[in-house]
């Protein structure tokens, strides 16, 4: 009987989700009275803006918004997304066939794998990268082929290293810029070369744009769909989580090639029932104010980044200069693994970070700091590094 209570092999063989492991350690330390400084998971500390909360307050009271929502999202939401994609990214989309709502982009990415990967298909997965791409490939019976993202290549994949046999079998290429965990961005020319390669090899591009709005230079804000040829093969996943500090609300959207959107929709129709319509309408209204709101958000992250860079440089750290996201990808001290260094920061300083290896084997040698903490916590980090850890090279 005990055997039958075990989950299926596809669940049993999954590596433990990294953030869950860190959570367990954090809980144990908090129980001993240690006050933790949480630079771990990328969950913004700032509140959801009032203009969204007020819109939600109005919309959730309307009986019509309390019913099962449309699977692909309500028309007002999809029209608002079409207008948003045009204004912010210069991409014109048909709201009816090229846009759909998601219960967060994570859900969309996972269901996309399930909808498009057959047994034995290969997916090209960036490493380090968001763990969902590789794990859901395995879930779906596919085989991830890792594309190392190396600092010497500005954390872009080197497609010339993909063997012909793998390129032939590849069904999906996952990309994510601005990139979690490195903070790198992809410039148009590099992305265009990837689009051309994918078209030549008939590979779908899944472009994870969860941080598309979080670039320190507005020039770096980019949708892959704006590039010639991309719409033949690409689907792009966006999220409200990071731009409007709405991680708990669960809303995102997918845009791109019609066949890819309709395949994903067909899968989702059978597993969920859409995004709460009041949330969609609150977001649709919120998008009208995105420009000034984001300018302030990005200014806050820029200030925090500068502060963190000073503090960490002082303590002997080195790091990659991020051009987007709210992460700082820092190098471990010599002869220490990511796991050892993460643990030392946690146990000696109560400082929570994420080990680079949580994002794949090419994350070894790095630790990620999330800039999702207020200035006071950043000052406290300075004092703990000085008093409890000292210079990291000592
Ligand atoms: N993609 C990347 C690269 C992420 O870092 C995250 C969340 O951390 C997501 C997607 C998922 O975001 P959400 O499901 O909240 O939209």
- The residues spanned by each domain of the chain are 3-48+291-389, 50-289
pLDDT band per the 50, 70, 90 thresholds, residue 319: very high
Mean pLDDT score, 70-84 = 98
Which atom, in ligand 1's list, is nearest to the CA of 106?
A: 14
Cα of 106 from ligand 1 centre, angstroms = 5
142-179 pLDDT tens trace: 999 999 999 999 999 999 999 999 999 999 999 999 99
Distance from the CA of 211 to the center of ligand 1, in angstroms? 8
CATH of 3-48+291-389, one of 3.30.230.10, 3.10.520.10, 3.90.1150.10, 3.40.50.720: 3.90.1150.10
Confirm or reject: Cβ of 324 under 6 Å from ligand 1: no
Establish whether residue 210 lines the binding site of ligand 1, counting it when its CB lies within 6 angstroms of any ligand atom.
Answer: yes
Q: SS in 3 state form for 114-176?
A: HHHCCCCCEEEEEECCCCHHHHHHHHCCCEEEEEECCHHHCCCCCHHHCCHHHHHHEEEEEEE
Who contacts 324 (Cβ-Cβ below 8 Å, separation ≥6)? Answer: 177, 178, 179, 183, 184, 185, 211, 214, 215, 216, 220
Of the CATH numbers 3.40.190.10, 3.40.640.10, 2.102.10.10, 3.90.470.10, which one belongs to the domain with range 50-289?
3.40.640.10
What is the average pLDDT value for the chain, to the nearest integer? 95
Quick: pLDDT tens for 202-228: 999 999 999 999 999 999 999 999 999
15 class by beta-carbon count within 10 Å (0-12 exposed, 13-18 middle, 19+ buried): exposed
3-state secondary structure of 319: strand
Q: Scan for tokens 């689009």, then name that residue.
A: 195
Binding site membership of 241 for ligand 1 (Cβ less than 6 Å): yes
Structure confidence at residue 390 as a pLDDT band (50, 70, 90): confident
Q: How far is the CA of 33 from the centre of ligand 1 (A)?
A: 31
Give the pLDDT of residue 18: 60
Task: Give the rounded distance of the alpha carbon of 200 from its chain centre.
Answer: 27
Mutational test site, ligand 1, from 18, 136, 180, 327, max ligand atoms within 8 Å of CB: 180
For a pocket test of ligand 1, which of 105, 174, 245, 249 has the largest count of ligand atoms closer than 8 A to its C-beta? 105
Q: Check if 176 has its Cβ closer than 6 Å to any atom of ligand 1.
A: yes
205 lines ligand 1 (CB under 6 A): no
The CA-to-CA distance between both ends of the chain, in Å, stands at 55
Is the CB of residue 106 below 6 angstroms from any atom belonging to ligand 1? yes
Q: How far is the CA of 329 from the centre of ligand 1 (A)?
A: 17
State yes or no: pLDDT of 14 exceeds 80. Answer: no
pLDDT at position 259 over 90 = yes
What percent of the chain stands above pLDDT 70?
97
Confidence (pLDDT) at 9: 86
Q: Report the pLDDT value the prediction gives residue 394, as an integer from 0 to 100.
A: 66
Among residues 83, 180, 93, the alpha carbon closest in space to that of 129 is found at 180
């Amino acid at each position: 009987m005990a055997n039958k209570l075990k989950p299926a092999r596809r669940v049993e063989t999954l590596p433990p989700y990294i953030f869950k492991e860190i959570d367990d350690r954090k809980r144990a330390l908090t129980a001993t009275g240690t006050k933790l400084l949480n630079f771990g998971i990328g969950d913004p500390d700032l509140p959801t803006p009032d203009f969204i909360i007020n819109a939600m307050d109005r919309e959730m009271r309307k009986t019509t918004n309390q019913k099962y929502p449309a699977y692909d999202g309500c028309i007002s939401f999809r029209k608002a997304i079409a207008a948003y994609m045009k204004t912010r990214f210069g991409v014109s989309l048909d709201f009816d066939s090229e846009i759909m709502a998601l219960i967060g982009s994570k859900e969309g990415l996972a269901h996309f794998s399930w909808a498009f990967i057959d047994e034995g298909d290969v997916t090209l997965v960036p490493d380090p990268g968001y763990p969902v791409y590789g794990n859901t490939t395995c879930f779906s019976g596919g085989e991830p082929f890792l594309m190392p993202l190396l600092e010497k290549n500005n954390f872009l994949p080197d497609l010339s290293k993909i063997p012909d046999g793998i390129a032939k079998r590849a069904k999906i290429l996952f990309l994510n810029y601005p990139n979690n965990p490195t903070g790198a961005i992809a410039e148009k020319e590099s992305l265009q070369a990837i689009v051309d390669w994918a078209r030549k090899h008939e590979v779908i591009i899944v472009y994870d744009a969860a941080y598309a709005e979080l670039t320190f230079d507005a020039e770096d804000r980019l949708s892959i769909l704006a590039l010639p040829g991309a719409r033949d093969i690409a689907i792009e996943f966006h999220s409200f989580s990071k731009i409007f500090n709405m991680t708990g609300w669960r809303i995102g959207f997918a845009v791109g090639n019609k066949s890819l959107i309709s395949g994903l929709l067909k899968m989702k129709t059978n597993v969920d029932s859409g995004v709460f319509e009041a949330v969609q309408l609150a977001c649709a209204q919120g998008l009208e104010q995105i420009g000034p709101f984001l300018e302030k958000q990005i200014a806050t992250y820029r200030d925090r980044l500068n502060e963190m860079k000073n503090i960490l440089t002082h303590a002997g750290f080195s790091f990659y200069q991020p051009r987007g996201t709210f992460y700082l990808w820092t190098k471990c001290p010599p002869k220490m693994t990511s796991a050892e260094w993460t643990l030392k920061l946690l146990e000696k300083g109560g400082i929570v970070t994420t080990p680079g290896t949580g994002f794949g084997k090419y994350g070894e040698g790095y630790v990620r700091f999330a800039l999702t903490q207020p200035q006071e916590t950043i000052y406290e980090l300075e004092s703990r590094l000085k008093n409890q850890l000292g210079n990291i090279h000592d």
